[in-house]
């Protein structure tokens, strides 16, 4: 049994997170009022009331002395995320907007993890209120992941400390502010501001206000839930370019944006940013070269390549061109790009550029050691030495990530005998890296609705595992309290 | 002028030697009996035995009559404290050697007028010597726009047997040079039009910074086109040199024997750090030294630098450069396989000599094998040389004008060039001609 003080704190945290989910129904309720969708609005209002009730229950446990140990903290993060994903299904369940029990959970998990995989063939089948709730789950997930990566995980210290460096990318070791809370607050304002700016830019184009808000709320968390059956394919080139720019911004470290606000040079001084840009450029070039013959015009060819490269690397999951029928070389490229992700401290999923950077250093160092056996092995990143335990953590992360991917795709293969290897593998990759669409039968135009219950749960779990950067979930599952 | 020096270590000794040679009145304060005695025996100086920060000792040294006070012990704090005491006793100008950057910043408030730290200029010189591996000297003037470079003319080079005037004719247009001096055996000849250059001569050339490679090629100085630099010794200067060379695109290895120091270096410096004894022949062999490599001994120990460079040479390093504290050795080493030497002590002394001379002298560089040196002088409005063309300036025979930096331009002087206020001129002169040069150029 968990010690009671720990349990009290866990209840407080989970109920606070759920309460935040309840408050987050507000935009959707407003949409319900505006569009006179009373039934769905009621479901959302009941959800909000449930959130309030859970908070009123949970707050009674406040004021317990002491703090979490780091493993308890990690476990709490994982529990809170699972509970929030369950809570978020309430509007769908109560209104019947999405049928069954598993589909709403899959959709909510894809929302809070900012994955963007969907069971809906046409999002237009949902009411405005439900569409906005769906977008809100991603927007809230993005906020959660920012505070998680820059505030909570570093504060917990051990284990996933490799993330701690996310709070201070760039050469200066200083933190942004002395208190994590202040840091998180500033980054949230930046996040809110960027969302607002994007919505304005989209309204200027060919989106109506509702579409603009819904897309702004799913672009900033690199989520990818849209409002149209063909994602962004039918919108104007202007709109597509604006989305491209904001996907790139959203997958850049928010701490870096903050620094660059006062010192624009901060971007080019960041090795991780430069590596991220190089990955994007390389991805776009390969896609452009491979898909050139398929494009109608030069303009569309460039735009499709840029959009597809950016959506894959950032893990957003919007699309403007259906890549299902592309040549195998391009499909393999897309498959690899799914894993990469953007920078640490952003809303992107995937392995993240700094881990790729450290892996690159480890590989080059091991090659150099063959030439210079007496070499002193210290890996440097962003002008600073990286502690050996962080390097170990990063290498372990690659192995864990690969392990979850392999087990996940194998499970899919067993559960869905009709799927081909490409589809099963890419669906697992897309889920763990929080991308959304996959390849093969689960490409951009397809939905996940046809999968069985087991497969949907496996994919939902992969999304959460990937979103929480694996460690919290692993610690939750392996902690000693299970053995008592 | 009376100059009081605190500290008779390598820096102090070398400074005293140079100042005495220039005819200054030198008093040295040294706490260690043995060092004090040694310097007293060898140089024409007054030594005072005691603590350089003690007012009693300072009075005994006659600081009240001193025009310049130099604190150059190995201890930053002691240097600053000595300056403070001296200032309180009425010394006009104080100079302290301070290496700690933080202390350097606050020193002006502590009675130190001028702080010298030669490591930056030494590292720059080291990096340039590595880049042009094979030259014997390298120095910068006029904000790095003019370079002094020296080397040995190889047999069969295009300049062999020609006069400076011939060469001037053959290289027209794109770039210019001045032959500052030709050293042949013990003889130093300051460059004139009729000076004849032969294989084996040690030539000192002034050239615009962008054309150093052309000058090296013209004079047939044997340089190695390097790609890899192996630095022996994990010192601060090694680190600074490595950073400069990495920025210039070379591969840099630093060899440090002490494991703790090596891992500290690896954390701080972008260069590849190898933990090994820099004089270990087996290790140096394993580096497969050969074409494109240069080995630099930059540790703090002369014998380790010498030994490391010699072993490296023996196992295939085409060019080697060593740092030396004892200047007396430096000149002797070329014949044993060290291509160039550098010394942070010489650099400290050069920086300090600027203050000994007058205010308008900006930098000084010395060349081994010879007592000649290069001075950078800013021409003042009141200077008697303003408006006079060089042909009529009557520079002493043992001095030559090596270059003029005017605004953004670098001018290679000719007979009809006239000097203007604000010009930075670089003069190369034998030491006995320096007085006359100063009289001509300084107000």
φ and ψ at B441, to 5 degrees? -100, -30
Burial class (CB in 10 A: 0-12, 13-18, 19+), A261: exposed
Q: How far is B260 from chain A (nearest CA, A)?
A: 10
Give the residue from B164, B183, B218 where a domain finishes. Answer: B218
Categorize the per-residue pLDDT at B253 as very low, low, confident or very high, splitting at 50, 70 and 90.
very high
Is B382 part of any domain? no
Categorize the per-residue pLDDT at A162 as very low, low, confident or very high, splitting at 50, 70 and 90.
very low
Categorize the per-residue pLDDT at A310 as very low, low, confident or very high, splitting at 50, 70 and 90.
very high
Structure tokens at A246: 């904001």
Please determine, for residue A159, whether its predicted confidence score (pLDDT) is greater than 50: no
Cβ distance B240 to B178 under 8 Å? Answer: no
Q: What is the largest CA-CA distance in chain B?
A: 65
d(CA A204, CA B95): 66
Q: Do B336 and B257 have their domain in common?
A: yes
Q: Which residues of B touch A372 (CB under 8 A)?
A: 253, 272, 274, 287
Cβ distance A131 to A223 under 8 Å? Answer: no
Please determine, for residue A153, whether its predicted confidence score (pLDDT) is greater than 80: no
Closest residue to A374, CB basis, from B268, B270, B283 = B283
Residues contacting residue B243 through CB under 8 Å, at least 6 positions apart: B269, B270, B271
Q: What's the confidence (pLDDT) of residue A176?
A: 53
Q: Do B238 and B177 have their domain in common?
A: no
Q: Do B262 and B316 have their domain in common?
A: yes
Burial class (CB in 10 A: 0-12, 13-18, 19+), A325: exposed
Q: What CATH number does residue B210 fall under?
A: 3.30.70.1450
Mean of per-residue pLDDT scores for chain B = 85
User: pLDDT exceeding 90 applies to what percent of chain A?
Assistant: 61
| Residue linked to tokens 């060290």 | B338
Categorize the per-residue pLDDT at A151 as very low, low, confident or very high, splitting at 50, 70 and 90.
low
Mean pLDDT of A131-150: 88
Q: What's the confidence (pLDDT) of residue A84?
A: 93
Residues contacting residue A109 through CB under 8 Å, at least 6 positions apart: A85, A115, A460, A463, A464
Closest residue to A376, CB basis, from B263, B283, B287 = B263
Is B34 part of any domain? yes
For the stretch B229-251, pLDDT in tens is 999 999 889 999 999 999 999 99
| Residue linked to tokens 């319900």 | A32
Q: Report CB contact under 8 Å: A376, B265.
A: yes
Q: How far is A168 from chain B (nearest CA, A)?
A: 18
CA-to-CA dists, residue B325 to A39, A327, B300, angstroms: 89, 68, 8
Is B192 part of any domain? yes
Categorize the per-residue pLDDT at A172 as very low, low, confident or very high, splitting at 50, 70 and 90.
very low
Interface mutation vs chain B, best among A173, A365, A371, A374, most B CBs within 10 Å: A374
Please determine, for residue A157, whether its predicted confidence score (pLDDT) is greater than 90: no
Residue B57: alpha-carbon gap to chain centroid: 32
- How many domains is chain B partitioned into structurally? 3
Mean pLDDT of A79-103: 92
User: pLDDT exceeding 70 applies to what percent of chain A?
Assistant: 90
Q: Do B16 and B103 have their domain in common?
A: yes
DSSP A337: H
Q: Is A151 left (phi over 0), alpha (psi -120 to 50) or beta?
A: alpha
Closest residue to B267, CB basis, from A372, A374, A385 = A385
Q: What's the confidence (pLDDT) of residue A466?
A: 92
Give the residue from B76, B93, B117 where a domain finishes. Answer: B117
DSSP B345-387: HHHHHHHHHHHHS-TTEEEEEE-TTSS-EEEEEEPPTT-TTBT
Closest residue to B266, CB basis, from A368, A372, A376 = A376
Q: Do B107 and B93 have their domain in common?
A: yes
Q: What CATH number does residue B100 fall under?
A: 3.40.50.720
Mean pLDDT of B291-296: 93
Q: Which chain B residue is nearest to residue A371, measuring alpha carbons? A: B287
d(CA B180, CA B403): 10
φ and ψ at B44, to 5 degrees? -85, 70
Q: Which residues of B touch A375 (CB under 8 A)?
A: 272-275
d(CA B387, CA A141): 76
Q: Euclidean distance between the first and final Cα of chain B, in Å?
A: 18
Task: Please state whether the predicted TM-score (pTM) of the whole model is above 0.90.
Answer: no
Q: Report CB contact under 8 Å: A378, B263.
A: yes
Please determine, for residue B162, whether its predicted confidence score (pLDDT) is greater than 50: yes
Cβ distance B316 to B295 under 8 Å? Answer: no
Is B254 part of any domain? yes
| Residue linked to tokens 């109608």 | A296
Categorize the per-residue pLDDT at B357 as very low, low, confident or very high, splitting at 50, 70 and 90.
low
Q: Do B17 and B60 have their domain in common?
A: yes
Which structural domain, as residue segments, surrounds residue B148? 129-218
Whether residue B68 lies within 8 A of chain A, CB to CB, comes out as no
Q: How far is A377 from chain B (nearest CA, A)?
A: 7
Q: Do B191 and B134 have their domain in common?
A: yes
Q: Euclidean distance between the first and final Cα of chain A, in Å?
A: 6
Closest CA to B418 of B399, B439, B392, B382: B392
Size of interface A-B (CB pairs under 8 A): 32
Q: Report CB contact under 8 Å: B274, A380.
A: no
Whether residue B265 lies within 8 A of chain A, CB to CB, comes out as yes
Whether residue B263 lies within 8 A of chain A, CB to CB, comes out as yes
Please determine, for residue A163, whether its predicted confidence score (pLDDT) is greater than 60: no
Q: What's the confidence (pLDDT) of residue A31?
A: 94
Half-sphere exposure of B369 (CA within 13 A, CB side): 23
Please determine, for residue B396, whether its predicted confidence score (pLDDT) is greater than 60: yes
Q: Do B197 and B233 have their domain in common?
A: no
Please determine, for residue A197, whether its predicted confidence score (pLDDT) is greater than 90: yes
Residue B368: alpha-carbon gap to chain centroid: 10
Q: Where would I find the H helices in B191-343?
A: 212-218, 236-247, 259-268, 281-286, 302-314, 327-330
Q: Which chain B residue is nearest to residue A364, measuring alpha carbons? A: B272
Three-state SS at B48 = strand
Q: What's the confidence (pLDDT) of residue A316?
A: 94
What ipTM was estimated for this complex? 0.71
Three-state SS at A63 = coil
d(CA A104, CA A110): 10
Categorize the per-residue pLDDT at B347 as very low, low, confident or very high, splitting at 50, 70 and 90.
confident
Which of A26-40, A158-172, A222-236, B173-187 is predicted least confidently? A158-172
d(CA B345, CA B119): 10
Q: How far is A273 from chain B (nearest CA, A)?
A: 19
Q: Which of the pair, A426 or B141, is modelled with greater confidence? A: A426
Mean of per-residue pLDDT scores for chain A = 87
Closest CA to B330 of B382, B271, B370: B370
Q: Do B50 and B148 have their domain in common?
A: no
Q: Do B229 and B203 have their domain in common?
A: no
Categorize the per-residue pLDDT at A82 as very low, low, confident or very high, splitting at 50, 70 and 90.
very high
Cβ distance A118 to A448 under 8 Å? Answer: yes
Mean pLDDT of A261-280: 91
Please determine, for residue B395, whether its predicted confidence score (pLDDT) is greater than 90: no
Q: What's the confidence (pLDDT) of residue B302?
A: 86
Nearest-10 crossing angle of helices A128-147, A209-219? 30
φ and ψ at B195, to 5 degrees? -60, 130
Mean pLDDT of B293-315: 92
Q: Do B113 and B92 have their domain in common?
A: yes
Q: Which of the pair, B94 or B186, is modelled with greater confidence? A: B94
Q: Which chain A residue is nearest to residue B272, measuring alpha carbons? A: A375
d(CA B413, CA B308): 42
Please determine, for residue A167, whether its predicted confidence score (pLDDT) is greater than 70: no
Q: What's the confidence (pLDDT) of residue A178?
A: 56
Q: For chain B, give the number of residues.
A: 443
DSSP A200-253: HHHHHTT--HHHHHHHHHHHTTT----SSTTTTTTS-HHHHHHHHHHHHHHTS-
Q: For chain A, give the number of residues.
A: 484
Is B404 part of any domain? no
Q: Report CB contact under 8 Å: A378, B267.
A: yes
d(CA A408, CA B383): 85
Please determine, for residue A166, whether its predicted confidence score (pLDDT) is greater than 50: no
Cβ distance B324 to B304 under 8 Å? Answer: no
Q: Which chain B residue is nearest to residue A386, measuring alpha carbons? A: B267
Q: Which of the pair, B28 or B387, is modelled with greater confidence? A: B28
Q: How far is B311 from chain A (nearest CA, A)?
A: 18
Q: What's the confidence (pLDDT) of residue A49?
A: 95
Structure tokens at B360: 């308008």
Which of A79-93, A438-452, B183-197 is predicted least confidently? B183-197
Closest residue to A378, CB basis, from B266, B274, B283 = B266
Give the residue from B330, B346, B362 where a domain finishes. Answer: B346
Q: How far is B405 from chain A (nearest CA, A)?
A: 33
Categorize the per-residue pLDDT at B442 as very low, low, confident or very high, splitting at 50, 70 and 90.
confident
Mean pLDDT of A248-269: 89
Is B354 part of any domain? no
Whether residue A367 lies within 8 A of chain B, CB to CB, comes out as no
Closest residue to B276, CB basis, from A374, A378, A380 = A374
Q: Which residues of B touch A378 (CB under 8 A)?
A: 263, 266-267, 273
Q: Which residues of A touch B272 (CB under 8 A)?
A: 368, 372, 375
Is B430 part of any domain? no
Q: Which residues of B touch A385 (CB under 8 A)?
A: 266-268
Structure tokens at A360: 């690159």
Burial class (CB in 10 A: 0-12, 13-18, 19+), B90: exposed
Whether residue B277 lies within 8 A of chain A, CB to CB, comes out as no
Whether residue A378 lies within 8 A of chain B, CB to CB, comes out as yes
Q: What is the dihedral of CA B343, B348, B352, B357, to 10 degrees?
A: 10
d(CA B346, CA B138): 13
Three-state SS at A172 = coil
Is B435 part of any domain? no
Q: What's the confidence (pLDDT) of residue A65?
A: 63
Whether residue A369 lies within 8 A of chain B, CB to CB, comes out as no
Q: What's the confidence (pLDDT) of residue A66?
A: 63
Cβ distance B176 to B412 under 8 Å? Answer: yes
Interface mutation vs chain B, best among A171, A372, A376, most B CBs within 10 Å: A376
Q: What's the confidence (pLDDT) of residue A399?
A: 94
Whether residue B285 lies within 8 A of chain A, CB to CB, comes out as no
Cβ distance B423 to B406 under 8 Å? Answer: yes
Q: Report CB contact under 8 Å: A380, B267.
A: yes
Q: Do B209 and B230 have their domain in common?
A: no
DSSP A344-355: TTSS--SS-HHH
Beta-strand (E) ranges in B185-227? Answer: 187-190, 202-208
For the stretch A405-463, pLDDT in tens is 999 999 999 999 999 999 999 999 999 999 999 999 999 999 999 999 999 999 999 99
């Amino acid at each position: 049994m968990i010690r009671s003080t720990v349990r009290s704190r866990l209840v407080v945290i989970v109920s606070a997170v759920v309460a935040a989910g309840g408050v987050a129904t507000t935009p959707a309720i407003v949409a319900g009022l505006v569009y006179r969708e009373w039934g769905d609005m009621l479901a959302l209002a009941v959800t909000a009331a449930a959130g309030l009730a859970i908070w009123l229950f949970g707050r009674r446990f406040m004021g317990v002395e002491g703090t979490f140990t780091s493993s308890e903290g990690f476990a709490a993060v994982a529990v809170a995320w699972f509970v929030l994903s369950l809570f978020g299904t309430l509007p769908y369940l109560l209104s019947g907007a999405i049928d069954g029990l598993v589909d709403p959970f899959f959709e909510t998990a894809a929302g809070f993890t900012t994955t963007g995989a969907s069971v809906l063939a046409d999002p237009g089948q949902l009411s405005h209120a439900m569409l906005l709730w769906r977008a809100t789950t991603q927007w809230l997930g993005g906020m959660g992941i920012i505070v998680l990566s820059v505030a909570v995980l570093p504060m917990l210290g051990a284990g996933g400390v490799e993330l701690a460096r996310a709070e201070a990318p760039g050469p200066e070791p200083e933190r942004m502010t002395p208190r994590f809370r202040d840091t998180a607050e500033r980054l949230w304002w930046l996040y809110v501001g960027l969302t607002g700016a994007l919505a304005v830019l989209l309204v200027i184009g060919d989106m109506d206000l509702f579409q603009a808000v819904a897309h702004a709320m799913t672009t900033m968390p690199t989520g990818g839930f849209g409002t149209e059956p063909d994602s962004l394919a039918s919108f104007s080139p202007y709109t597509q370019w604006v989305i491209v720019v904001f996907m790139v911004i959203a997958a850049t470290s928010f701490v870096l944006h903050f620094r660059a606000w006062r010192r624009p040079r901060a971007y080019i001084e960041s090795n991780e940013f430069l590596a991220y840009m190089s990955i994007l450029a390389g991805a776009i070039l390969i896609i452009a070269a491979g898909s050139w013959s398929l494009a109608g015009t030069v303009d569309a060819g460039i735009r499709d390549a840029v959009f597809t490269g950016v959506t894959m690397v950032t893990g957003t999951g919007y699309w403007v061109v259906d890549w299902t029928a592309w040549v195998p070389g391009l499909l393999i490229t897309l498959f690899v790009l799914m894993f990469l992700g953007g920078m640490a401290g952003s809303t992107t999923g995937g392995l993240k550029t700094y881990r790729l950077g450290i892996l690159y250093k480890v590989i080059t160092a091991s090659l150099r050691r063959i030439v210079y056996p007496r070499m002193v092995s210290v890996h440097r990143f962003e002008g600073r030495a990286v502690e050996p335990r962080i390097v170990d953590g990063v290498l372990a992360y690659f192995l864990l990530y690969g392990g979850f991917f392999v087990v996940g795709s194998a499970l899919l293969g067993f559960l869905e005998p009709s799927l081909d290897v490409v589809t099963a593998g890419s669906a697992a990759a897309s889920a763990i890296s929080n991308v959304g669409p996959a390849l093969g039968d689960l490409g951009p135009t397809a939905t996940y609705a046809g999968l069985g219950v087991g497969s949907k749960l496996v994919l939902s779990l992969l999304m959460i595992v990937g979103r929480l950067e694996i460690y919290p979930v692993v610690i939750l599952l392996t902690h000693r309290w299970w053995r008592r | 002028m009376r100059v009081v020096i605190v500290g008779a270590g390598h820096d102090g000794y070398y400074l005293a030697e140079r100042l005495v040679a220039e005819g200054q009145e030198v008093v040295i304060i040294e706490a260690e009996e043995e060092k004090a005695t040694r310097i007293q025996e060898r140089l024409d100086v007054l030594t005072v035995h005691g603590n350089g920060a003690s007012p009693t000792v300072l009075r005994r040294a006659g600081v009240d009559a001193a025009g310049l006070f130099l604190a150059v012990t190995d201890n930053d704090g002691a240097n600053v404290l000595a300056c403070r005491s001296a200032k309180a006793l009425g010394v006009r100008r104080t100079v302290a050697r301070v290496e700690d950057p933080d202390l350097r910043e606050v020193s002006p408030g502590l009675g130190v007028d001028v702080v010298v730290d030669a490591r930056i200029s030494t590292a720059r010189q080291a990096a340039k010597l590595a880049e042009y591996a094979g030259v014997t000297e390298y120095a910068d003037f006029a904000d790095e726009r003019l370079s002094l470079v020296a080397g040995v003319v190889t047999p069969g080079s295009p300049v062999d047997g020609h006069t400076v005037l011939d060469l001037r004719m053959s290289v027209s247009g794109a770039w210019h040079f001045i032959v500052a001096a030709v050293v042949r055996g013990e003889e130093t000849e300051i460059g004139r039009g009729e000076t004849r250059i032969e294989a084996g001569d040690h030539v000192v050339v002034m050239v615009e910074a962008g054309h150093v490679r052309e000058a090296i090629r013209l004079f047939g100085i044997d340089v190695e086109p390097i790609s890899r630099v192996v630095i022996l010794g994990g010192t601060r200067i090694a680190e600074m040199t490595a950073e400069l060379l990495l920025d210039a695109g070379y591969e840099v290895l630093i060899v440090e024997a002490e494991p703790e120091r090596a891992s500290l270096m690896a954390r701080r410096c972008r260069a590849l750090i190898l933990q090994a004894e820099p004089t270990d022949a087996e290790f140096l062999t394993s580096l497969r030294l050969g074409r494109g490599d240069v080995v630099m001994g930059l540790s703090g120990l002369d014998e380790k630098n010498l030994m490391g460079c010699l072993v490296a040479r023996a196992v295939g390093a085409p060019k080697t450069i060593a740092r030396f504290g004892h200047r007396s050795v430096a000149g002797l080493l070329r014949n044993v396989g060290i291509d160039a030497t550098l010394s942070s002590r010489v650099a400290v002394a050069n920086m300090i000599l600027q203050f000994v001379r007058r205010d308008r002298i900006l930098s000084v560089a010395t060349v081994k094998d010879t007592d000649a040196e290069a001075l950078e002088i800013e021409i003042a409005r009141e200077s008697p040389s303003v408006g006079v063309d060089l042909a009529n300036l009557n520079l002493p025979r043992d001095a030559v004008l090596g270059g003029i930096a005017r605004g953004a331009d670098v001018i290679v002087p000719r007979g009809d060039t006239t000097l203007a206020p604000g010009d930075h001129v670089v003069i190369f002169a034998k030491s006995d001609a320096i007085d006359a040069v100063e009289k001509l150029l300084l107000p």
